[in-house]
A and B are shown apart, each in its own frame.
Chain A
Amino acid sequence: MMEAFGLYNYWIVIFLMMSGFYVVIARGNLVKKLVGLNIFQASVFVLYISMGKVAGGTAPIIAEGIETYSNPLPHVLILTAIVVGVATTALGLSLVVRINEEYGTVEEEELADKDPAE
C-alpha cells in the first residue's frame, strides 16, 4: 500500500495520459481535441520531472555541506518539450481558426458533410 502511494507521481502521469488520450480520440470538437492533446503532453512532462528527483537530494545549486543533488537534466529537456508543446498548440489553434473561417464549424461530424465526396 505504502509503495503504491510512494509512486503517486506515476499514478498521476498514467491518469493524465489516459484521460488526455481518450479526449483526443473520443471528442469530435477540434478545440477539445487540442485540449486533450495538451493534457496528454503534460503527463509526459510530469513523467520526466518526476524521474529527475533523487531521494534526499536538493535543488541542483552548488552549496557547502550538500552532497546529494536532484538531477537537473530532465527538467532542462522538458523545458524544450514545453516549448515544442506550446508551438504545437498555437499552430493547432490557428488551423482551427482557419477551418472555422472556411467551413463555419469546428465539429468533426459536420466537417465531413461539407465537402462533396470525390
Chain B
Amino acid sequence: MIASVHFPVLQIVLPLLLAPVCVLLRGARLAWFTALTASWAAFGIAVALLLDVLAGGPISYAVGGWNAPWGIELRVDAANAFVLTIVAGIGAVVMIFARESVEHEIGNARAYLFYATYLLCLAGLLGVTITGDAFNLFVFLEISSLSSYVLISLGKDRRALYAAYQYLILGTIGATFYLIGVGLLYQVTGTLNMLDLAQRLEGQEGLRGVRVAFAFLTVGISLKLALFPLHFWLPNAYAYAPSAVTGFMAATATKVSIYVLLRVFFTIFGVEFSFGQMPLGEILMFLAVAAMFAASTVAIFQNNIKRMLAYSSVAQIGYIVLGIGMASVTGVQAGVLHLFNHALIKGGLFLAMGCIVYRIGSTHIDDLAGLGKRMPWTAAAFVAGGLGLIGIPLTAGFISKWYLVLAALEKGWWWIAVLILLSSLLAVVYVWKVVEQMYLKPAGEGAGRTEAPLGLLVPTWILIIASIWFGIDTRLSAGAALEAAKTLLGAG
C-alpha cells in the first residue's frame, strides 16, 4: 500500500487540512461530520501505526523527502505510537459527544468554529507526539496551545475568559522556556533532530549551556503539564471550559506534555545525565508526592465538581510523574500506563459532568442531590469513573497504582508505596462526597427523571467501559506501556 507509507504525515495533515474545511462548510451538522471523519481517520491511522511499530520496530518518515538531520523527521516508536493512539482515540470519542453538547453550550451558529479549532488542537497534539524534531515540536505545541486557549474561552461562564487568559500567559511562558532550552542545545550541538541531539550531547554533559538548557526545558514543560506547584492555570481552565473541551483536554493535553518530558529526559539527555548527574529523580518524586497530597486535599473542599476533578487531575499527574521519577523500567511503565488509564477515567468523568451540565445546567455539588434517581446512567458512569480514580480492583486505576507500588517496592522504597495508598484514601473522600449527594440526598421538588440523550451517554460509557476493560484485561495496555518504557530507557 502506498498510503500506509505516508501514515505518519497523514496523521497530522488530515486534521490540519480538514480544519479550514469546517470553516468553509459553515453548517453545524456538516462541520461536525467533517470533524468526526477526520478524528476517526486519525484514530485509525494511529492504531495502524501502533500495530506496525509493535510488530516491526520504529518508523522514520522524512517530511517532503528531506532526510534527517536537515529535514524534519517524523519518528514513531513504541512510546509515541502508544500516546498517539490515546490522543486520537479520546479525540474521536469526544467528537461523538461534541454534537449535542456543543449545540447546547455554544450554539449551532458558532459550532463550525468550534470544530475547526478542535481539529487544529488535535493536529497540534498529534504533531507534538509524532515529531522527531525539537523545534518542530515547539511549533506544534503552540498550535495546540493557541487553539486550546480559544476552546477554553468558549465556555458559557464569563470566568472562562479569564481562565483562558491566565492559561495563555503561563502556557506561553512555558513554551518560551522550552524554546530557550532548544536554542541553547542548538548552540552546543548545531542540530535540532532529537536522535542527533542525543548523539552529539554525549560527552558534553559538563558544559554549562547543556545544564542550563536542561533546567529551562524541565521547567517549561512542567508548566505545560501542570506539575505541582506549576498547576495554577489548570483548575479554572478545566472548570469553566465547555464540557466537551474539558473532557478532551483533561485526557490529552497534559498527557502529551508528559510525553514530551519523557522524550527530553530519556531520549535527548539520556537517563545517565538526567537522573545520574542531575538531582532530577529526587526533585520529581518530592513534587509528585506533594501533588498527590496537596491537590487531593484541595479537591475535597471544592464545591464545583468540575474544579474538584481538575484538582484531582493535578494529583493524578503526580502519580504519573512519580513513576517517571523512579527512572526504572517498571517505574516508567507504571507512569505511561497511568497516563493511558487516567486519560480514559478522567475523560469519562468529565463527559459524565457534561451530561449533567446538559440536563441540570450546573456543576455545583448542591444541585446534584438525588441525581442517582434523576439521571441513573450518568450517575452510574460517574461512580464507575470515581472508583477508577480511587484505584479499586477491577478498574484501570487499580492496575496503574499496582504497577506503581511494584516499582516502588522494587527500589525498596516501601514508604513511597505507603504514601501512594494513603493518598488514594483522599480520593475516596472526594469521590464519596459526590456519591453521597447523588444517592443519599433526596432530589428537590418537581425534579423528574431527566436522563441525558444517547448521543452524550454512549461516548461517556465508551470511555467508562474502556477504563473497566483495561482494569481486567491488561495485556494490551500494560504490554504497550512496557514496550514504551523499554524504548525510552534504551533497554531494548
User: Measuring CB to CB, which residues of chain A are less than 8 angstroms from any residue of chain B?
Assistant: 21, 24, 30, 33-34, 37, 40-41, 44, 47-48, 51, 74, 77, 80-81, 84, 87-88, 91-92, 95-96, 98-99, 102-103, 111, 115, 118
Asked if B186 contacts A74 (CB within 8 A), the reply is yes
Query: In this complex, which of A34, A77, A96 has the most chain B Cβ atoms within 10 angstroms of its Cβ?
Result: A77
Choose, from B167-175, B250-258, B288-296, B393-401, the stretch at the interface. B167-175
Nearest residue, chain A, Cβ from B143: A84
- Complex: A80 Cα to B135 Cα, angstroms: 10
Contact of B165 among A48, A80, A95, A118 (CB under 8 A): A95
Q: Is the CB of B135 within 8 A of A77?
A: yes
- On whether the beta carbons of A95 and B186 are closer than 8 Å, the reply is no
Of the candidates B138, B142, B303, the one having the most CB atoms from chain A within 10 angstroms of its own CB is B142
A-B contacts, 19 of them at CB < 8 A, read: A24-B169, A37-B172, A41-B172, A41-B176, A44-B179, A51-B183, A77-B135, A80-B139, A87-B146, A91-B150, A92-B165, A95-B161, A95-B164, A95-B165, A98-B161, A99-B161, A102-B161, A111-B162, A118-B304
Chain A contact surface mostly:
helix
A81, B168: Cβ atoms closer than 8 Å: no
Contact residues on B (Cβ < 8 Å of other chain), bracket? 20 to 34
Distance between Cα atoms of A98 and B157 in the complex (Å): 12
B373 at the interface (CB under 8 A from A): no
The 6 closest A-B pairs by CB, nearest first: A102-B158, A84-B142, A95-B165, A51-B187, A99-B161, A118-B304
Whether, in the assembled complex, B85 has its beta carbon less than 8 Å from a beta carbon of chain A, the answer is no
Known contacts A33-B169, A88-B146, A118-B304; decide if A40 and B139 are in contact (CB<8 Å).
Answer: no
Q: Which residues of B contact A111 (CB under 8 A)?
A: 162
Query: A44–B174 Cα gap in the complex (Å)?
Result: 13
Complexed CA–CA distance, A39 and B138 (Å): 19
State which residues 121-180 of B face A: CB under 8 Å: 135, 138-139, 142, 146, 149-150, 153, 158-159, 161-162, 164-165, 168-169, 172-173, 176, 179-180
Q: B211: CB under 8 A from chain A? A: no
Known: A33-B169, A95-B153. A48 touches B183 (CB 8 A): yes
Tell me which residues across on chain A come within 8 A of B26, comparing CB atoms.
Answer: none
Q: Are A88 and B179 in contact (CB under 8 A)?
A: no
Task: Name the distance in Å between B91's Cβ and chain A's nearest Cβ.
Answer: 22
Contact at B158–A103, with CB atoms within 8 Å?
A: yes
Is the CB–CB distance between B139 and A91 below 8 Å? Answer: no
Nearest chain A CB to B153's CB is how many angstroms away? 6
Inter-chain CA distance A91–B149, complex, in Å, is: 8
Question: Chain A contacts of B200 at CB under 8 A?
Answer: none
Docked CA distance A110–B296 (Å): 29
A44 touches B146 (CB 8 A): no
B342 within 8 A of A: no
Collect the chain B residues with CB atoms within 8 Å of residue A24's CB: 169, 173
Residues of A near B161 (CB, < 8 A) are 95, 98-99, 102
Is B364 close to A, CB under 8 A? yes
Is the pair B165, A96 in contact by a Cβ cutoff of 8 Å? yes
- Inside 8 A of A47's CB, which chain B residues have their CB? 180, 183
Q: How far is the CA of A89 from the CA of B169 in the complex (A)?
A: 10
A88 CB contacts on chain B under 8 angstroms: 142, 146, 168, 172
Interface status of B338 (Cβ within 8 A of chain A): no
Rounded to whole angstroms, the CA-CA distance of A20 and B169 in the bound complex is 12
Would B173 and A40 count as touching, CB distance under 8 A?
Answer: yes
User: Shortest distance in angstroms between B204's beta carbon and chain A's nearest beta carbon?
Assistant: 16
B307 within 8 A of A: yes
- Which of B149, B158, B176, B183 has a CB less than 8 Å from the CB of A40? B176
CA distance A24 to B159 in the complex (A): 20
